[in-house]
Amino acid sequence: MNIVLLGAPGAGKGTQAQKLVDLGLAHISTGDLLRGAVKEGTELGVKAKEYMDAGQLVPDSLVIGLVKERLAKPDVEAGFMLDGFPRNTAQAETLDEMLAELGKPIDAALLVDVKPEVIIERLSGRRTCRACNYTGTKADEVCPRCGGEMYQRDDDKPETIQKRLNTYAEQTEPLIAYYEGKGLLKSVDGDRPVDEVFADVKVALGI
Ligand SMILES: [Zn+2]
């Protein structure tokens, strides 16, 4: 089963993805792929770094190239989840072409749906460990994992969250329509306890 993960920042997509990894699906985060390629200095990584250093967006063709390389690894045989790509319909169309060539089409677009006001409440209560990047809540005075100092990332401040949600709505919501039009959209209500959401995810995906 090959899946595109959709959902606003803070909707709990990552948590659900982790549970799907436990069921054998490969989690392909394009952010991680890019960072990894840059760090390893691969051909695509070197090119990506030039754009990033110039403060420019990495071109779609390059991200598609990275995804294609990643899909050549054996762990995707049982299926994969794409996280962070595509972000708009143009990218989705390019992705579909590439996946059609590989014979690995998308089977479902999984949307973890949470209302913006709930997301703002969730994210603004989030705190991150300076030492190990553990993500907790404002109830954690020190990191429960390593005892490090907890702080609020700029990304988790309410004004920044609102901006991120606006960007998400503009860019990503047309994608929802795109996958709906193809009959691939599976939407679950993400505003519930993690395990209940996951039970719905399994039903939605038929796994
Ligand atoms: Zn820590």
Tens-place pLDDT, residues 96-111: 999 999 999 999 999 9
Q: What is the CATH number of the domain that holds 103?
A: 3.40.50.300
151-180, pLDDT tens digit by residue?
Answer: 999 888 988 999 989 988 898 889 999 999
Give the three-state DSSP class for 77.
Answer: coil
What is the DSSP track for 116-171? HHHHHHHHHTEEEETTT--EEETT-SB-TTT-PBEE--GGGSHHHHHHHHHHHHHH
Active site residue 192: no
Residue 35 among the catalytic residues = no
The answer for residues whose C-beta is within 8 angstroms of residue 181's C-beta and 6 or more apart is none
Q: What is the pTM of this model?
A: 0.85
* Domain count across the chain: 1
Q: In the annotation, is 127 catalytic?
A: no
Question: Pairing mode, if any, of strands 185-189 and 135-137?
Answer: unpaired
Please state the rounded mean pLDDT for residues 5-34.
Answer: 93
| Measured distance CA(68)–CA(100) in Å, rounded | 12
Domain that residue 178 falls in: 2-205
For the segment 56-103, what is each residue's pLDDT rounded down to a tens digit?
A: 889 999 999 999 999 999 999 999 999 989 988 999 999 999 999 999
In percent, the amount of the chain with pLDDT more than 90 equals: 83
- Identify residues whose C-beta is under 5 A from ligand 1, the ion: 129, 131-132, 134, 143, 145-146, 148
| Ligand 1 centroid distance, CA of 125 (Å) | 17
Q: Name the catalytic one among 39, 130, 153, 202.
A: 153
The answer for residues whose C-beta is within 8 angstroms of residue 92's C-beta and 6 or more apart is: 4, 86, 175, 178, 179
